[in-house]
Structure 1
Amino acid sequence: MVRAPVPGPSTLQLPGVPPLLQRIYAHRGVTSADQLDYSLTALIPPGKLGGSVEAAELIHQVMADNGRILIVADFDADGATSCALAVRSLLAMGATQVNYMVPNRFSDGYGLTAEIAEKALTLQPDLVITVDNGISSLAGVALLRKRGVAVLVTDHHLAGPRLPDANVIVNPNSPDERFPSKHLAGVGVVFYVMMALRARLREQGWFPARGLMEPNLADYLDLVALGTVADVVQLDYNNRILVQQGLARIRAGRCCPLIREILVRSGRALARVAASDLGFVVAPRLNAAGRLDDMSVGIAALLSDSDSRAAETADLLDRLNRERKQIEQEMKEQALEYLDSLELDEQLPYGLCVYQEGWHQGVIGILASRVKDRYQRPVIAFADADGETLKGSARSIDGLHIRDTLESIAVARPELLSKFGGHAMAAGLTLDKSCYPEFCRCFNEAVETELKGRSLTGKLLSDGGLKASELSLGMAEQLSRAGPWGQGFREPLFDDRFEIVRQRVVGERHAKMTLRRGDFADHLEAIAFNQVDALPEKTGVSIQAAYRLSVNEFRGARTLQLMIEYFQVIE
């Protein structure tokens, strides 16, 4: 456990903000009150995103000609929300022929491949817009252009050595792109393109000429918030504005029925929804459609304003998510059994590759993430794509850019990788099954070169201890409202010493505790998920705990609860 440096008293001065919150903001690099202004007027203007103006001109021309527009989406939550945002926005702005297509994870693979381009051509589009994909789709884009179809690529993933020959590319991570926020999710890129399109149409007098009300694109920020949080991109200042504005609309009940239905059915009060609810409640259920079934189901529900359809789809997504959890648990047990045996033999590699026949393609990304958290090493989990090919999903740790690592392998050993793509913390790849042993060796060597000498142990960065007056329900509520918290703008975490007064196991794996601290008059209720093995044999012992302040709601009562991330007995 590592404590963040305590900022000096003059580091940050925010009138009316409690000292604790000022300390927390200072730890996260906030230097002025301006960086906490989450109004839409503080967004980086859309014209600053390279290609957005040209994209608006292209879409406008197709709309003016009553052309057919086809959206090609990715099959995760970012792709689904990107697709729904694009379709809803285009229809609201007067496009008359808008359709969408999402590749099937199992039969089609990722992105605008040549095969997907062929399927797209059967719909006779005049313009294909990729959302959350396309920057590596050289063959698919080339095929469409050859057949006379215009292509607009909107993406946020890192580009390879060659760019697709699209009419326009909008990507904050394109080479030489100077957009200040490099961390836009795919749905954020689409939002910027739609803002540029609306500005273009406004300048051309489009809306009054057609008797249309100019749409308020802010009405779709619930989709932007969900996709941004789901894709675990860094919540830099610009992304925090998008997420906070989306959360405000969800809390006011102004969100698409599917998001509302999932939250309510999961026991979340809309008025108090936080970014973590999008990340841990809504996103996994939406992603379950793409992992186990077909993301078209989720997109269709995001596009529908029907309460009954939302309820029906929420039931389906909940069932798929439970099924996903069961599959994930079985795969995780198998992976950990294999890796634990390597650890016993002191042969645990720097870069971990795991694979077993029968593993589910749609769950390997989550598996890689779980194994990465356990061993604090970059991980690639593989599953059979067919009898001769493996698909891999990679997750990295701070300090290792996973896509660049894969690229270094591809340059040195081009015969090993069929294709790959991604960004710093996550990537996907494909290779021949026969290449797997040699790829594992090369991956370990590449990771070891980058990380050798580093201590590969997990660290929790704490904001320090809390005063007795700060251990309150009111402070927990204030911290929840002070976000949005997430990747790159971490939720406040504290650490203190407590005595265990009572303890019990709930839900098989969770440790429920009643704690006491010498300077605090009342007992504190706490829960530590999946940490039952760390419980001492008896009560009355002291522990050092890293915890968050949370609110427990039960039968209408709201009480303070400590959410313990990690604890250890103090001898």
Structure 2
Amino acid sequence: MPYIPKISRRPLPEAVPALHASPLLSRLYAARGLQSPEEADLALAHLLPPDGLRGLDTAVDLLLDAIGNDRRIVVVGDFDCDGATGAALAVRGLSMLGARQVGFKVPHRVLHGYGLTPGLVDELIPSSPDLVVTVDSGIACLPGVARAKALGWKVLVTDHHLPGEQLPDADAIVNPNQSGCPFASKALAGVGVMFYLLLAVRRRLREHGLPGMDADLSSLLDLVAIGTVADMVKLDANNRRLVRAGLARIRQGRCQPGVRALAALGGLDLAKLTETDIGFRIGPKINAAGRLEDMALGIECLLADDETRAMDLAESLHAINQERQELQQDMLQEAEQALATIGDDDTDAGPAVLLFQPHWHPGIIGLVASRVKDSRHRPALVFAPSEPGSEELRGSARSIPGFHIRDALAHIDALHPGLISRFGGHAMAAGLSLPAGHLPDFRAAFQALARAWIEPESLQGVLWSDGALAEHELERDTALLLQAAGPWGQGFPPPLFDNAFHVLEWRVLKERHLKLQLALPGSSRAIEAIQFGGYAGRPPPERIHAVYELQTNDWRERRGVQCLIRHLEPV
């Protein structure tokens, strides 16, 4: 059964500071930890300078040497949207800064595995690179870096993932999360780290009056915005500035042809594109290539300058994404069927969910783990063979607040050496590999650790509300104000409100969705609302307590407002 969340209101300081001319936005910003109007100012002029990034000067030296001496540079990306946008950004940006021999290589999920592996390095030998630059990976790729160095190549690692106990023997490492790095924003995505490195290279070129110093790197901010949103990193003030600037360029139509093509195939109006559109309509199309095919397709789409070529590549990505959606739905149905058979006394029961089917696709397990985690409010680990018939399993883990999933894997690895082949990730998401025969022992060890580490109250999901809206605030102008106040996202959640309502009218759409006419107590004014997937075969209560987003409703050229209900319960 899906968990029933507890509704709580976000705490506010005793005195809400005037963070915005709108009292409502001041309240929302204060609830998200902002303390001064400067923190709410998302102008690029307030972007953190690159200086604080450890290893930056050495990295700039490597790139300037490669550019100045016409050396061969190969950018090694990753097979997710952050890695794809970061690789495209690096190729475009380095070319703008004067590099004449710059290409890219991206690992294949099945053939190579994650990051710069020795096998991937060996495939680069025919191109004889002088410098290998990793994007969104590399910090855990010790064998691959060692292999590249043994071949006499320079290696520059740019990454944002948490380092292990040992760092790779690279010529330079730029990662805000490496030990001793004073850079104030630890939440940069891989594409953000690369953007900062390009800024630092341009600054050095300007200091010496060298060619490339006038490169307009702001023209690449659409890629930074897409990769940052798609990777679901925390939208701290610095990331919000990057995303807002990238969104502004997209809305003005000043984006890469591939981005325009992907938006068009999603039926999106560029002028109205939001961070939600990136997260659910554009990012998944790029991600699908790395999940099912070869992410080189996604990078080529983002690098295409010809509109026709960009559209052809975008259509291929769109088709792959449709296949991904079908696979995901089948796997989710099988996952729910498996969960329905687990009793409280079964060995599989526990505070975590671990699922495996031998026919599941390794490129989809992360999506399934995320959906299972959301529906059950439990840490979820989903496994599949790394390739058909393989005895190696690949696992993807998603967690809940209060349970650091990478630390959990590290603890198990220390207690049971050799049980896990490889692992890495963050507090809320991680990946791992292990032999198929180790899965029962891993399952037992993980459930035991979850029982010891997870407090029972952590398994009660909380739906955080920003309080009630007054009747005069339930207007289109308020919805537009909230939309313009973004970007909202991970770590800076979109506003949710809660009110008691009378249900004036209701009907069912497409046999699953509830369309409602609501009114505040004591009022007869009808307020439109919709709850997707909300129809359970019976009428809604006459009086409800609803948690909702306030959004514009422009269906069929109308200019209205509606409450998008996230949860309702009877009053």
Relative to the length of structure 1, the TM-score reads 0.95
Q: Distance in 1 between matches of 2:164 and 2:511?
A: 46
What code does the residue aligned with 1:557 have?
R
What code does the residue aligned with 2:8 have?
V
Task: Give deviations 1:78-116, integer Å, cap 9, x for gaps.
Answer: 000000100000111110000100111121111001101
Shift of 1:520: 4.5
Tell me what 2:352 maps to. Answer: 351
Report if aligned partners of 1:136, 1:163 keep a CA contact under 8 Å in 2. yes
RMSD of aligned Cα (Å) = 1.6
Range 364-373 or range 248-257, more displaced: 248-257
Given the alignment of the two structures, is residue 342 of structure 1 paired with residue 342 of structure 2, yes or no? yes
Task: Give deviations 1:359-379, integer Å, cap 9, x for gaps.
Answer: 011100000000001111111
Given the alignment of the two structures, is residue 97 of structure 1 paired with residue 97 of structure 2, yes or no? no
Q: What are the equivalent positions in structure 2 for 1:87-486 lying under 5 Å apart?
A: 87-207=91-211, 214-343=214-343, 348-386=349-387, 387-486=390-489
Report if aligned partners of 2:342, 2:349 keep a CA contact under 8 Å in 1. yes
Task: Give deviations 1:233-279, integer Å, cap 9, x for gaps.
Answer: 00011111111111111111111122222223333322222211111
Task: Give deviations 1:521-552, integer Å, cap 9, x for gaps.
Answer: 4322222122322x6x2366111111001112
Tell me what 1:4 maps to. Answer: 10
Q: Do the aligned partners of residues 55 and 542 (structure 1) sit closer, same or farther apart at CA in structure 2, a change above 3 Å counting?
A: same
Q: Distance in 1 between matches of 2:385 and 2:85?
A: 28
Equivalent pairs, count: 562
For structure 1, the 5+ residue unaligned runs are none
Report if aligned partners of 2:19, 2:35 keep a CA contact under 8 Å in 1. no
Shift of 1:169: 0.4
Q: Do the aligned partners of residues 503 and 322 (structure 1) sit closer, same or farther apart at CA in structure 2, a change above 3 Å counting?
A: farther
Secondary structure at 1:234's aligned position in 2?
coil
Secondary structure at 1:460's aligned position in 2?
strand
Q: Do the aligned partners of residues 310 and 551 (structure 1) sit closer, same or farther apart at CA in structure 2, a change above 3 Å counting?
A: farther
Secondary structure at 1:141's aligned position in 2?
helix
Q: Distance in 1 between matches of 2:192 and 2:116?
A: 20
Given the alignment of the two structures, is residue 56 of structure 1 paired with residue 38 of structure 2, yes or no? no
Q: Distance in 2 between matches of 1:286 and 1:552?
A: 28
Q: Distance in 1 between matches of 2:570 and 2:249?
A: 43
Q: Distance in 1 between matches of 2:274 and 2:257?
A: 17
Secondary structure at 1:361's aligned position in 2?
coil
For structure 2, the 5+ residue unaligned runs are 1-6
Q: Do the aligned partners of residues 444 and 488 (structure 1) sit closer, same or farther apart at CA in structure 2, a change above 3 Å counting?
A: same
Task: Give deviations 1:493-534, integer Å, cap 9, x for gaps.
Answer: 00111222333333443322222223544322222122322x
Q: Do the aligned partners of residues 480 and 520 (structure 1) sit closer, same or farther apart at CA in structure 2, a change above 3 Å counting?
A: farther
Q: Distance in 1 between matches of 2:544 and 2:303?
A: 49
Report if aligned partners of 1:57, 1:200 keep a CA contact under 8 Å in 2. no
Report if aligned partners of 2:300, 2:313 keep a CA contact under 8 Å in 1. no
Secondary structure at 2:341's aligned position in 1?
helix
Report if aligned partners of 2:138, 2:158 keep a CA contact under 8 Å in 1. yes
Report if aligned partners of 1:502, 1:539 keep a CA contact under 8 Å in 2. no
Secondary structure at 2:395's aligned position in 1?
strand
2:89 to 69, 85, 93: 85
What code does the residue aligned with 1:12 have?
P
What code does the residue aligned with 1:156 have?
H
Q: Distance in 1 between matches of 2:530 and 2:561?
A: 11
Report if aligned partners of 2:401, 2:458 keep a CA contact under 8 Å in 1. no
Shift of 1:200: 1.5
Q: Distance in 2 between matches of 1:541 and 1:311?
A: 49
Tell me what 2:568 maps to. Answer: 567
Tell me what 1:487 maps to. Answer: 490
Tell me what 1:29 maps to. Answer: 33
What code does the residue aligned with 1:353 have?
L
Relative to the length of structure 2, the TM-score reads 0.95
Q: Distance in 1 between matches of 2:255 and 2:512?
A: 35
Shift of 1:556: 2.0
Shift of 1:213: 6.5
Task: Give deviations 1:369-420, integer Å, cap 9, x for gaps.
Answer: 0000111111110001142110001111111111111111111111211111
Q: Distance in 2 between matches of 1:310 and 1:123?
A: 26
Secondary structure at 2:137's aligned position in 1?
coil
Tell me what 2:519 maps to. Answer: 516
Q: Distance in 2 between matches of 1:453 and 1:518?
A: 36
What code does the residue aligned with 1:374 have?
S
Q: Distance in 1 between matches of 2:516 and 2:345?
A: 36
What code does the residue aligned with 2:339 have?
L
